[in-house]
Structure formats: structure tokens, C-alpha cells
Homo-oligomer: A and B are copies of this chain.
Amino acid sequence: MPNTLILSIDAMGGDHGPSVVIPAVDIAARQLGDVRFLLHGDQAQIEAELAKAPAARAASEIRHADKAIAMDEKPAQAMRRGKGSSVWNAVEAVKDGQAAAAVSAGNTGALMAISMLVLRMAEGIKRPAIVASWPTMNGISAVLDVGANVESDAEQLVEFAIMGAAFHHAVHGSTKPTVGLLNVGSEEQKGHEEVREAHALLRANSFDFDYRGFVEGNDIAKGTVDVIVTDGFTGNVALKTAEGLARFFGNELRATFKSGPLAMLGAVFASGALGAMRKRMDPGAVNGGPLLGLNGIVVKSHGGADAPGYAAAIRVAADLARSDFTAEIDRNIRRLGAVVSESAASPAEGAAE
């Protein structure tokens, strides 16, 4: 099978397990062309689902696992007792070269901990990142880190820029992604030391992307740049704030359409278009967030995703695996290494206003 893409799937993770994962594999098997799947998890449950999913059955091989990691399991616990679980085995198949990428809907902390332990960090990268695909007025932007870290120094922010640009290029099709660094203003002297230092590092070299300087929170929804770089604390808060607002918006829309007879009539006519709009705008609705920075591709699906949603995460894994993604990151990390060792720190100064 020279050009066949092999994907490793944790069939047990997520809120619904095989009853969603196998139908998703069925969709992906029909969409993705020459692809095969290693399905990790409980053999009997997987077989029962495959019986109803002929495309998945034809393209899959079951790898039985006795254990599954619970959705509420702590990362430390998952690392200790995770060996032999469906998620562990799914990631290990990538490490062993049996598969080009792994997909799991298991809990993020456990998936990250196990992936770091099994795959290790890619050479030259200090910290992993989780990237979110965020719908904007201008397409889809990649925002990272949204939760793998709680603090990030300047070099880590630059690593996020490199990884986010390679991700956007591979999955969202930009040829030379534009990149912005999230800050509280667009002037050079704004922000804390980490963002000002990262800004200087990004300015000081030419990477395979187009660095555009500082952007602000409102630039995310505007789609001012393809990739928005921030520390995991700020990114996580921004993403969840937006998800909360999207939900608020949905509720208010429903309430508004019940607010009087004219509005109710309006709802009858417009409900289809409005439902589609709400789904298109929610930053939580685009599924498939890769864990970046590892020696191998691991994509996280939302725990609550339905079969088409999980299939979207499988497509992200396939896009990354078929792209120049890893080599692109490696190439740019080497350039960063050169800059950092040259400049060795001429720290930015001056408190922000």
C-alpha cells in the first residue's frame, strides 16, 4: 500500500464512543480516497457498529483494547494507568510508524499528557500548543495556544506562530499565512515583556509566513490575519468567552423570535437561514484541533461531536498527514534557532500605557 494513508482512531473516546466514531469513520472512508483506519477499542462494540457501516468496515482493522480513559480522568492519572488504553494505543501506532496520524475525542488533558509521553516533543520545540479553528468575517483563522499552557515566554510565542502558520497552510489552504500577535493595542510599546520580545523576534527574521505585528481581540472575528498567536491562558479565556457569547446570542435570538406576533412570523420565514448562521459563527463549532509540537500528528475531536463533526476531525488529521506540515515547522524552527542565538536578548523596554 505505497500511497495509502493510514489513520489511527481512538474508537472509545468522547461522550458517545463507537456509536459516533464508527459512523464518522464510515463518512471519512467515503470522502478521503485512499485511506485505511486502525480502530482502537473494545472489539465487540466496534464490530457491532461496523456491521452497520460498510465503507468503514472495508477500510478498517480493529486493534482491541481492554481499557478506555474516562472523560473526567486527571492527566497525571491517565499517564500512570493509561498504557494499553484505546487512546494510548492510538497514539502509540503513530509513534511506531503504523499510522500517519491519530484522532481521539477523549479528554484534552489526558490526550495531551499521553501524547507528550508517547511521542515526545518535536526537536527544537519547547512546549506544545492546542489550536482552535475560529470562524471569522474572512474565512477561518487559527488561534493558538488555547489551553496547553498557562504562561508562555517570547520564544514559545514564536514557536506557536510557526506551528499555527504551518497548520493554517495545511488545513485551511492559505499559501503564505498572515500572522498576528494578540495584544492590548497595536503600537510597538504596548503589552507586557513577553509579547514585545516575541514581536521583536518575529520581526527579526523571515519565516514562511507573513508576520503582521500586533492585533487586538476584535481582530479575531474580523479575520484580520490567518493566525492569531497568544499564550494559553489568554487564548483559552478568549475562546471560551466567544463560545459563551455565541450561546447567549442563540438564546437571545430564540427569545426575540417569541417576543411578539410579528417577530414570531419573522422567525417562521427566517429560521433555516438563522440556524445555519449560528452554526457557522460559533468558534466551538469547527471540529478538529491538533495538538501541535509533538513528534507526530494527534487531532482532538470535541467530546460531544456527532458523526459528521468527528468526520471533520478525521479530515483535519488526513490533511495534516498529507501535507508538508512537519517539514515546514522544522524548517522555520531552525530559522528561529539561528535568530535567537544571534540576538541573544536585547530586551524590549518601557511599560505599556
Contact = CB atoms under 8 A, between A and B. Distances in A.
29 contacts: A150-B184, A150-B192, A150-B352, A184-B232, A184-B236, A192-B233, A217-B236, A217-B237, A217-B240, A217-B244, A218-B244, A219-B244, A220-B244, A222-B244, A222-B247, A230-B237, A234-B234, A234-B237, A237-B238, A242-B242, A256-B274, A262-B270, A262-B273, A263-B272, A265-B266, A265-B270, A266-B267, A266-B268, A266-B270
Given A262-B273, A263-B270, A263-B272, 15 more contacts: A75-B353, A109-B353, A151-B192, A184-B233, A216-B237, A217-B239, A218-B247, A222-B244, A234-B237, A237-B237, A242-B245, A248-B281, A256-B273, A259-B273, A267-B270
Contacts of A345: none
A263 B151 CA distance: 46
A48 interface: no
A3 interface: no
A259 B272 CA distance: 11
Contacts of A177: none
Contact of A277 (B136, B190, B252): B252
A218 B233 contact: no
A216 B236 CA distance: 9
Contacts of A233: 184, 191-192, 234
Contact of A216 (B113, B240, B271): B240
A336 to B, nearest CB: 24
A287 to B, nearest CB: 18
A253 interface: yes
A241 interface: yes
A137 interface: yes
Nearest to A276: B256
Contact of A270 (B136, B257, B277): B257
A256 B244 contact: no
Q: Which of A74, A245, A255 has the most CB of B within 10 A?
A: A245
